[in-house]
Amino acid sequence: TDATYINNNHSSLETMESTLELELQSYNMAHPKRGIAVIINNYTNRKGSEKDVKSLKAVLKHLQFDVRLLSDKTTVEIRHALKEVSKENHTNNDCLVIIAMAHGYNDRIKFEDDYLHIDELWTNFVGNKCPSLIGKLKLVFIQSCRGGKLDYGASIATVDARPGVEEPVDVKIPMYADLLVMYSSYEAHSSIRCPNEGSWFIQSLCQVLGANIAKTELQALLSHVSYLVSIRSNQTIDPQGKVIKQIPMVTSMLTKAFYFVPK
């Protein structure tokens, strides 16, 4: 059931509406540094992931991130590394990026010794757990299967449709505000990785982030990533001869627009 609370704010809805700013604000990108990007990759039985790591390192460095790579680590080592990053001072950073690549199922990711629940990737960085990241974007990308289902797509008839510096204020914000998580596939479905070319999702993400994106808002960029994944699978066939498709999934708690403004 819905929780019911008494509103102690005596401002009427009419007053709130009259003062509401309807224009979407942007995250502050004027900090001296872009921020830290943590790449977590399990190479074991994941041929092709080395290409994903190479592509990610190149594009994230191009975007001026401080890139940290964790390869073939145990869950204990990963938890410790993420905890240490959360203890760092992010005051001069725009944002934080975490990318995890491994085998997985449902909401768990498999590493060298055990499974890591996906929310452990960001739990150290939300709310008051990392004060210097409050109000700043936390981006999490997950390249992992979420189950064993395969997406065989749907047929449609196609037609040609070508187109003719804020003052500091003491406020409280929701615990999970400013967090965006992008999964490589829909719930309970597989994610495809090519041994020669890398995974569809990570390669599409790098393709988009490596373009001229300074004037394009983040969620528009991620929509294009989803589009590239959806068409990248056109020639992939399962053992029964059926074409396999894939579509990423985004869970967004963002409250502002985000642009990768050049430093």
Residues forming the active site: 103, 145
DSSP string, the chain: ------------HHHHHHH---SPPB----SSEEEEEEEEE--TT-TTHHHHHHHHHHHHHHTT-EEEEEES--HHHHHHHHHHHHHS--TTEEEEEEEEESEEETTEEE-SSSEEEGGGGTTTTSGGGSGGGTTSEEEEEEES--SSB-B--------------PPP------TTTTEEEEESS-TTB---EETTTEEHHHHHHHHHHTSS-TTS-HHHHHHHHHHHHHHHTTT-B-TTSPBPB---EEEE---SB------
